[in-house]
Amino acid sequence: MSERKVCVVSGSSSGIGAATVKRFAQEGWDVVINYSRQAAPAEAVAEECRALGAQVLLVKADVSQDADARRLADETRACFGRADVLVNNAGTTKFVALKNLDGLDAEDFQRIYAVNVIGAFQLSRAFVPLLQQQAGAGIVNISSVASMMGRGSSIAYMASKGAVNAMTVGLARALGPQIRVNAIAPGLVASSWLQQGMGPERYAAHLKAWTDTAALGEPLTPEDVADAAWWLGAGAAKTTGEVLLLDAGFRITKG
């Protein structure tokens, strides 16, 4: 078994996931990087982590497929013999205006749930045997403010992240005392996810509305979310079943 601690992050070839593996690498951990489609961005993130001194395992796996989730855990065991923190970050959506109820069908819900909810469940289940061997192990689920505020890319996405919050509490009860399970609900993160999904004009308007409203007057960065994932994953010894709203004061608004 590796002496260094190991963090596994699903969907870590870009955005929040990439920032999270780099944060754990900076802290002296080894990392498992996962993606489902494009290898090149994942390999670039792996190089950055190696430059920070981490050993890296890179695994192509679609978390919505249980066989892939189990293979990810098996490859982690074969490479490192341990896992200390799992961050369920891989996510997907469909951008549909709130009032356009006909813009979503059952298949949209099923595709989004398959990754955001079922994928996080399957990966958690696959990693429990490894995580429960490590003192202070943690699972961190990346949710969204969309789960709480009726804002976000679509109602199917909001519902999926609400399910992630409920699952976080259920898993925290099921897996304690060995494994802590928490979630982060970030607000607007300045990453390609929103820019590509909304297009440049809608994104600019959305960003302005956000910064005009949020008490701290700024969007989040992927590094802000990685910071919270580091704390909830590696620290926060007495915190479990918590959904941390990380919104730069958007909910409380400016005074």
Return the residue of 5, 7, 10, 94 that touches ligand NAP, per CB under 6 A.
10
In the stretch 195-234, what mask flags binding to ligand NAP with x, by CB under 6 A? ----------------------------------------
Q: How far is the CB of 23 from ligand NAP (least distance, A)?
A: 13
Residue showing tokens 């002496």: 3
Burial of 180 (0-12, 13-18, 19+ CB in 10 A): buried
154 lies in the binding site for ligand NAP (CB under 6 A): no
Contact between 63 and ligand NAP per CB under 6 A = yes
Whose Cβ is closer to ligand NAP: residue 48's or residue 132's?
Answer: 48
Which positions are annotated as active-site residues?
157
112 binds ligand NAP (CB under 6 A): no
User: Residue 124, interface with ligand NAP (CB under 6 A)?
Assistant: no
Q: Tell me the C-alpha distance between 77 and 129, whole Å.
A: 10
Asked if 20 is part of the footprint of ligand NAP (rule: CB under 6 A), the reply reads no
Interface residues toward ligand NAP, by CB under 6 A: 10-17, 34-38, 62-64, 89-92, 115, 119, 142, 144, 186, 188-189, 191-194
